[in-house]
Amino acid sequence: MPKPTHLHDSDAVLQYLAEARKFRTQEEIATLLGVNARQVRRWEARENEPPPYLTYSLQQMLPLDSHVDVDAKDAPFTFIDLFAGIGGIRQAFNSIGGHCVFTSEWDTYAQKTYFHNYPRSHAIDGDITKIAAEDIPDHDVLLAGFPCQPFSIAGVSKKNALGRAHGFNDETQGTLFFDICRIIEEKKPRAFLLENVKNLTSHDKGRTFDVIKRALDQLGYKMSYRVIDGAHFVPQHRERILIVGFRNDLAIDFDLHALALPPKGEHKLGSILHKTDGTEPYLPWDDNAYFDHKKKKPLDKYTLTDNLWTYLQNYAAKHKAQGNGFGFGLVTKESVTRTLSARYYKDGSEILVSQGKTKNPRRLTPRECARLMGFPDDFKIPVSDTRAYKQFGNSVVVDVMTHVAKAMLPHLSNEKIKKFTLNKIAA
């Protein structure tokens, strides 16, 4: 298989195309890419260059039995993806050379999106609470964007009254964080990266986070945590807490607060919006689902109806009169948006793109939401708009995760990491 190359290297596309042709016909490749066979023949004949964003799609056509074992063996580290959603955290750790050996996600629609984007992979397991820890493959890193849940203190209080010691089993039982703990206890990965909402530290008056810190300490890990705003990387304010831990015996001093971040506000909304000047790339997997390439504009269905726009304006005026800050978020190409939420499908009120004074504003399209979250244009969206809005609203900013993943990389294994890093630098 060709060596991984930078996404924008057109030679890489042709390398992967040549490799894919060993296993598939031109017609099959054309169908999977959403183009005609004549176009594939032109690429192979070097009559014109294939778009750089096809690299990943061509990679996914390579057969499982020929390449996955090699990838796992040669990868600098392995990881598991828990509460995986649509694979935002996996995007980041894949990009630095990691190999995913296990995925768990219970939502069937998220599974569909995940599988469309990682077809050369293992099966996706559903309910993590039903999977024995010993049945999960060994791994170097555990990744989890876990739900925020309160912990019951009844059993702990009773043990305290009796003077008995208690551990993570007592404090976290019945929550999904417990499943993270039992997997860590069984598999003892080198490291973990956990992601959650900003207010995790204050949830349930701080008790939730106290239990999390205590449990991870009892499991033998030194942790560091930090709230990072996605606006350092994308035109969206999205504050999330990241918790990184390394096993104590590794004696790794990792401090998220020492991680330098690029300035906020340098990325503007215009960078992710559909281009109406004729430069919007045609994506075969989207076709004209979101953008009319002939008319060079987003589909009319994303523009708010008169009734909805009137309602939102009246709602905002009412709350403003009452001294509340509730209302819609009208943005332009120069804006940094509010947080994209899973409820965006309802009315899109938190991020409405201005279309001038004579036209109602519009929602972001699902492709623009993907870009706002840092997903590349070759990320497939195989679900309805409603599902897509929910999925991106529940996901992570991929660029934030990649930044942290790169900082973790030197500590994720030993000689394999050094060799892999040197090879990447040499390339």
Q: Which of 202, 211, 153 is nearest to 177 (CA)?
A: 211
- Count CA atoms within 13 Å of residue 271 on its CB side: 16
Structural contact between residues 252 and 315, judged by C-beta atoms closer than 8 angstroms = no
The phi and psi torsions of 56 (rounded to 5 degrees) equal: -65, -40
Alpha carbon 380 to chain centroid distance? 13
Structural contact between residues 278 and 267, judged by C-beta atoms closer than 8 angstroms = no
Calpha distance 65→122 (Å, rounded): 11
Q: Tokens 């569909």 map to which residue?
A: 112
Calpha distance 267→231 (Å, rounded): 7
Side chain identity at 248, as an amino acid letter? Answer: N
Tokens of 184: 């860590």
**In terms of DSSP H, where are the helices of 87-143?**
88-95, 108-117
Question: In a 3-state reduction of DSSP, which class is residue 14?
Answer: helix
Q: Which of 103, 141, 73, 95 is nearest to 413 (CA)?
A: 141
Whether 181 sits among the annotated catalytic residues: the reply is no
Calpha distance 169→178 (Å, rounded): 7
- Residue of 100, 148, 181, 369 marked active site: 148
Query: Catalytic site residues?
Result: 148
